[in-house]
Amino acid sequence: MEYTTLGSTGMSVSRIGLGCMSFGSGREWMLEREEATELIERAIDLGINFFDTANVYSTGESEAILGDALAGYDRDAHVIATKVYAEMDPDNPNSSGLSRKTIEQELDASLDRLGVNTIDLYQTHRWDSETPIETTLRALDDAVRRGKVRYVGTSSMWAHQFADALRTSDRLGFERFATMQNHYNLFYREEEREMLPLCAKEGVGVIPWSPLARGVGTRPHDRIESTTRGRTDQYLEQIPYLQGGGEEINERVQELAAEKGVTMAQISLAWVLHKERVDAPIVGTTSVDHLEEAVEAIEIDLSPSEMAYLEESYEALPIAGHE
């Protein structure tokens, strides 16, 4: 395993983070506790020390599974990231958003489920247009000062919103967002226009979600629905990965994978790992074999001409992932 410094935090994380959205019972393709624990333990064996979850993943089940699995290991050896924003209780209007009330109550609930005193990276899951950014940042700053959170991060939003948040933190002396978990992969590169340059300028760590394009980068485009997730994942219908040259890109991934004797997933992930502005992509999987393949992708070398070949067919796509 290789390790990198996460943005300007000084904190070392594995080049691949294990995404934990697939842990729990929220969807039919997800892993129940025993299988999820096996996957987490194998990740640790492989040197992964960075785990990303969210309160909303299976309504807290993912956090609980992760916390229980890590309880038998050295807590200081691992970096735990979780998120807040999405609705946790349809009967409680204050169980979502980024108000001080929501952040404080959901942070305490996440700490309890994870079984820790401090969360290494606490992220806002999306932008809350109903709450002033000053209110959100003050609540997050207080969480850091109280020792409940070490660093704060955020996820997909417009670049102008992120710039506003960073400037507000600087103006008021609040803890800055140290990371951006954005939507970025070989099939969706709109973040290259504004968000990635902004992160580079501001020293913000980049930890993309869906680096394999929800499976589109792992198999031929005419076989996407051959898996349970491919048939049932509603987000695949909303994100236009196969538009704008996507099918051609998919075919070039197939071609290059065959030439190198590796899998399509390894080529797709290697592409992300070769992008200078990316620190550690968040890889979600339900298979130990696929996890091992992902780690092996770190060692795959793509030449500048191979990178250009994979990128050549890309065309601009509608923005996806901010909601």
Considering 57, 151, 184, 241, which one is annotated as catalytic?
57
- Active-site residue 57, yes or no? yes
**Do residues 181 and 151 lie in contact, with contact meaning Cβ atoms separated by under 8 Å?**
no
CA atoms in the 13 A half-sphere facing the CB of 306: 18
Q: Give the strand order in the sheet containing 149-155.
A: 205-206, 177-181, 149-155, 119-124, 79-84, 50-52, 17-19, 282-284
Mention every residue, 6+ apart, whose C-beta is less than 8 A from residue 260. Answer: 267, 300
Q: List the end-to-end C-alpha distance of the chain, in Å, as a whole number.
A: 33
Taking the CB of residue 231, how many other CB atoms lie within 10 A of it?
12
10: left (phi over 0), alpha (psi -120 to 50) or beta: left
Phi, psi of 93 (to 5 degrees): -65, -15
Run of H or E residues at 315: none
Taking the CB of residue 247, how many other CB atoms lie within 10 A of it?
17
d(CA 69, CA 285): 16
Strands, DSSP E only, in the chain? 3-5, 12-14, 17-19, 50-52, 79-84, 119-124, 149-155, 177-181, 205-206, 282-284
d(CA 279, CA 151): 16
> Closest Cα partner for 251 from 294, 315, 310?
310
**Do residues 321 and 156 lie in contact, with contact meaning Cβ atoms separated by under 8 Å?**
yes
| Residues acting as catalytic residues | 57
